[in-house]
Structure 1
Amino acid sequence: MFHLFEMMLKSLDRVTEQSARKAARQMGRRHMLAKTGALLAGSAFLPALPFYRGTGLAQAAEPATGIVPTQCTYWRYCALDGALCSTSGGTMTSCPPGSEASKVAWVGTCRNPEDGKNYLISYNDCCGKAMLPNALSCLNSERERPGYRMGLHNDINWCVANTNKGYHCTVTVAVGLADE
């Protein structure tokens, strides 16, 4: 078994070396430096991918109903897995005092029954406080994707990017209309 593993590593080393030598023959140093620089500059935009929410939470226009949704069947909660901030000291779109929105989030597409349109909903965990025992917890997984799809899965502790990683509740922010 060990011998087979050793042969596979040698083979991988040989293929890697051949590829590196071929690339060196076909490209000059300047070309390689330019490509590496472009790769590094492009990687600076990775945090701007759809599941990154930074510090600000945008709010898309929605019909004002004057009610605070506190039931798991509310349309914005179609992909929510967690405690509602509206029952944990915050609102549907803002974290309770003493907690902060997660720097990363998952995104769902939910249909608003009032206007029949699909909206992109950003689900941000609020971090930094313990979860309240009487908070209403919802487990909705409409159109959920497998766990290896980072921005599409709701069973992850999204507070991992924050300094204080304790989970408190989840806010739902409509960020815009989904492409039809």
Structure 2
Amino acid sequence: MFDIFSKLLNALDKTAETGARQSARRIGRRSFIAKTGVVLAGTALMPVLPFDRSLGGSAFAGEGENDTDCDYWRYCALDGNLCNTSGGSTTSCPPGSEASKVAWVGTCSNPNDGKDYLVSYNDCCGKATVANSTFCFRSEGERPGYRMGLHNDINWCMANKNLGYHCTVAMLVGLADE
């Protein structure tokens, strides 16, 4: 038994040594150091690169706007309880619940910048509904329920293991095509 184990270790050692020698022939120390330097410099410069913050969570809440009110622009196609009055936020489910695997999408106009945005509405599943949470029913531009993805009056928790509805989040997906 010891002899088999010893032969296996010798074979593994020889394979590792051969691989290390071959890579040493192909790749020099200077080239490795140069590539590592480029990666480190690139990583250090990442925070100063410009990026679009316009789809951030609170970037659209202007002065006087209240995202716990059903009239908030992002809720134009929402049908359900607001998660930010049920223990979560506008974009995240409360602890103990999980986002539905399927959702509906609405197109809402932001009065602050005059642009139309795609908003994904995900039901949060797995907890009982909170009694004092805000219920909103807005269905601006809703189509009849013949196409599931265009209808907001469905229990979207049906794709999850726990079917209990708790609340709904409204996440920005992007700008709507004009």
What TM bracket, shorter-length normalisation?
0.5 to 0.7
State how far apart, in whole Å, the 2-side matches of 1:96 and 1:79 are: 21
Q: 2:130 is aligned with what amino acid?
A: L
Report how far residue 172 of structure 1 moved: 0.2
Instruction: Give structure 1 regions of 4+ aligned residues with deviation exceeding 4 angstroms.
Output: none
Report how far residue 68 of structure 1 moved: 5.7
State how far apart, in whole Å, the 1-side matches of 2:61 and 2:119 are: 18
Q: 2:121 is aligned with what amino acid?
A: Y
When residues 137 and 112 of structure 1 are mapped into structure 2, their CA distance, relative to the original with a 3 A threshold, is same
Residues 75 and 113, structure 1, Cα contact 8 Å, conserved in 2: yes
Unaligned runs of 5+ in 1: 1-58
Q: 1:121 is aligned with what amino acid?
A: V
State how far apart, in whole Å, the 2-side matches of 1:123 and 1:175 are: 10
Q: 1:60 aligns with which of 48, 55, 60?
A: 55
Match of 2:19 in 1: none
Residues 77 and 138, structure 2, Cα contact 8 Å, conserved in 1: yes
When residues 177 and 150 of structure 1 are mapped into structure 2, their CA distance, relative to the original with a 3 A threshold, is same
Residues 124 and 172, structure 1, Cα contact 8 Å, conserved in 2: yes
Most deviating of 97-106 and 60-69:
60-69
Q: Which has the larger radius of gyration?
A: 2
Q: 2:147 aligns with which of 139, 146, 149?
A: 149
Report how far residue 149 of structure 1 moved: 1.2
Match of 2:85 in 1: 87
State how far apart, in whole Å, the 2-side matches of 1:156 and 1:173 are: 18
Identity of aligned residues (%): 71
1:24-173 to 2 correspondences below 5 Å: 60-61=55-56, 63=59, 65=61, 69-173=67-171
Q: TM-score, normalised by structure 2?
A: 0.65
Unaligned runs of 5+ in 2: 1-53
State how far apart, in whole Å, the 1-side matches of 2:173 and 2:60 are: 16
Q: How many residues align?
A: 122
State how far apart, in whole Å, the 1-side matches of 2:98 and 2:76 are: 23
Report how far residue 73 of structure 1 moved: 0.1
What SS does the corresponding residue of 1:173 show, helix, strand or coil?
Answer: strand
State how far apart, in whole Å, the 1-side matches of 2:73 and 2:60 are: 14
State how far apart, in whole Å, the 2-side matches of 1:78 and 1:91 are: 17
What SS does the corresponding residue of 1:90 show, helix, strand or coil?
Answer: coil
Report how far residue 148 of structure 1 moved: 1.2
